[in-house]
């Protein structure tokens, strides 16, 4: 047991040494580009040309086969169609009027003041699961197919985003060997085009069976950022998982983030927001935690301007903007739909859609950084 613990501690120590060397070499490359310092070993072209060459190569890999690219987008389209079927019968009716609840028995007043119908939280969670799984699956091939090419090109002298590879020599010393990850970095850049198109096709398909009452830009923003963060998770899975298990681990990852780290189930988002310290970190880097809230509040915000008396319990179709305008122009006192119970139950806050979109973006950046670090430090003996 002592030897196992010692080896584990040594592995952890080596990982941090490699990570520190990577950061140091990346900083050195930035200085080299800014100052115009030439490579002391190889005769390489300027950093700008290297960047263009890598972008060109990455774009050719992604867009060379147009049929494959179009097929990928059609898959995202049909995913949006299937998920929209779940949301097609989505309804929201707030709590009963205050007059009704005040006249009800004391034991029933608490139940009387909750939403009569509210399926937006469940639907938002299902949407985020679909987006997370689709994004992870689509991102699996980006780095997984590039790992061999990356280490083959490691000796070409490219200076863009160099990494450090630590190798144990005799005497237990380490020597940092600079390597280039330009190809992988450019694949991420070109992949953003795939992300934008995937979000567009999913967005169009999702609108076929689902009537969205909020701002369309908010809905597309949620889909786009969810895809972006999920692609980053797909990159990570492709790097750390064995090829024979990558598909299964992708499913487990999507379930973990969408079901456990989204705040829809236990713990609830209200409890998550009260967490402090290291225990809150897994939720801070979970894209569905932000996506579900953004979807919910962007949809529910519309109902703040819906009059309670519009619903007669025989029809739950949302009123048009013209009907709402007539109520407002009437001048009489109107009791508007109360959306507060749903917000309180789920721990949501109105007006923070942009904040949640930024949260998903930073979560994607975090998992992308973890992916780069794993590419640098995993299986070093096979790459040296």
Per-residue model confidence as pLDDT tens digits over 335-349: 556 667 667 777 788
pTM, two decimals, is 0.75
Cβ distance 328 to 101 under 8 Å? no
Q: Give 331-380 pLDDT, tens digit per residue.
A: 555 555 666 766 777 778 878 889 999 999 999 999 988 887 777 666 54
Cβ distance 344 to 362 under 8 Å? no
Report the alpha-carbon distance of residue 46 to residue 39 in Å, rounded. Answer: 10
Domain that holds residue 278: 2-383
* Confidence band for 308, pLDDT divided at 50, 70 and 90: low
Report the alpha-carbon distance of residue 20 to residue 316 in Å, rounded. Answer: 59
CA angle 372, 374, 380 (to 5 degrees): 115
Q: What is the pLDDT of residue 298?
A: 86
pLDDT for residue 96 is more than 80? no
Report the alpha-carbon distance of residue 332 to residue 343 in Å, rounded. Answer: 27
Residue 307 phi/psi, 5-degree rounding, is -70, 140
Where would I find the H helices in the chain?
A: 2-35, 47-63, 66-87, 98-103, 106-112, 120-144, 147-152, 182-209, 216-240, 246-255, 269-274, 281-284, 287-300, 321-330, 340-346, 353-377, 380-383
Which range has the worst mean pLDDT, 23-32, 174-183, 273-282?
174-183
* Confidence band for 59, pLDDT divided at 50, 70 and 90: confident
Segment (H or E) for 18 = helix 2-35
Q: What is the pLDDT of residue 314?
A: 42
Q: Which two tokens stand for residue 325?
A: 């305008």
Terminal alpha carbon distance of the chain:
30
The helix-helix angle for 353-377 and 287-300 (nearest 10°) equals 160
* Residue among 194, 260, 263 at smallest CA distance from 232: 194
Which one-letter DSSP state was computed for residue 105?
Answer: -
Cβ distance 213 to 302 under 8 Å? yes
Q: Number of folded domains in the chain?
A: 1
pLDDT for residue 273 is more than 90? no
Highest mean pLDDT among 94-103, 255-264, 302-311, 336-345: 255-264
Report the alpha-carbon distance of residue 355 to residue 297 in Å, rounded. Answer: 12
Cβ distance 192 to 264 under 8 Å? no
User: Bridge partners of 93?
Assistant: 117
Q: Say which residue the tokens 């007043």 belong to.
A: 109
Question: Mean per-residue pLDDT for 115-140?
Answer: 86
Q: What is the pLDDT of residue 216?
A: 87
pLDDT for residue 381 is more than 50? no
Higher pLDDT, 318 or 195: 195
Q: What is the pLDDT of residue 256?
A: 93
Report the alpha-carbon distance of residue 332 to residue 338 in Å, rounded. Answer: 18
* Confidence band for 156, pLDDT divided at 50, 70 and 90: low
């Amino acid at each position: 047991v002592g030897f196992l613990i010692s080896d584990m501690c040594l592995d952890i120590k080596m990982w941090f040494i490699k990570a520190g060397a990577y950061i140091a070499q990346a900083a050195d490359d930035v200085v080299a580009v800014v100052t115009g310092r030439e490579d002391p070993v190889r005769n390489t072209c300027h950093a700008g040309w290297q960047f263009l060459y890598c972008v060109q190569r990455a774009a050719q890999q992604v867009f060379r086969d147009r049929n494959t690219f179009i097929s990928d987008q059609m898959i995202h389209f049909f995913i949006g169609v299937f998920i929209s079927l779940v949301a097609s019968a989505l309804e929201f009716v707030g709590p009963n009027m205050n007059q009704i609840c005040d006249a009800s028995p004391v034991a029933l007043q608490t139940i009387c003041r909750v939403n009569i119908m509210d399926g937006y939280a469940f639907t938002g969670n299902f949407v985020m699961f679909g987006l997370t799984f689709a994004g992870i699956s689509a991102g699996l091939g980006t780095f997984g197919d590039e790992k061999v090419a990356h280490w083959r090109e490691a000796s070409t002298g490219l200076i863009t985003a160099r990494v450090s590879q630590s190798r144990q020599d005799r005497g237990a010393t380490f020597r940092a060997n600079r390597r280039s990850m330009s190809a992988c970095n450019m694949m991420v850049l070109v992949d953003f085009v795939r992300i934008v198109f995937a979000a567009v096709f999913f967005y169009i398909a999702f609108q076929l069976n689902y009537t969205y009452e909020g701002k369309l830009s908010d809905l597309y923003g949620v889909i786009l950022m969810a895809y972006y963060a999920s692609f980053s998770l797909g990159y990570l899975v492709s790097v750390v998982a064995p090829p024979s298990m990558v598909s299964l681990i992708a499913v487990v990852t999507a379930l973990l983030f969408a079901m456990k780290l989204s705040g829809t189930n236990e713990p609830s988002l209200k409890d998550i927001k009260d967490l402090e310290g290291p225990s809150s970190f897994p939720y801070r880097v979970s894209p569905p935690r932000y996506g579900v809230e953004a979807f919910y509040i962007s949809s529910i915000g519309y109902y703040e301007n819906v009059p309670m008396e519009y619903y007669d319990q025989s029809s739950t179709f949302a009123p048009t903007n013209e009907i709402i305008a007539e109520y407002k122009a009437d001048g009489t006192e109107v009791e508007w739909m109360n959306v507060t119970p749903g917000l309180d139950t789920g721990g949501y806050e109105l007006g923070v859609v942009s904040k949640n979109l930024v949260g998903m973006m930073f979560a994607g950046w975090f998992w992308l950084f973890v992916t780069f670090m794993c590419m640098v430090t995993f299986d070093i003996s096979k790459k040296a």
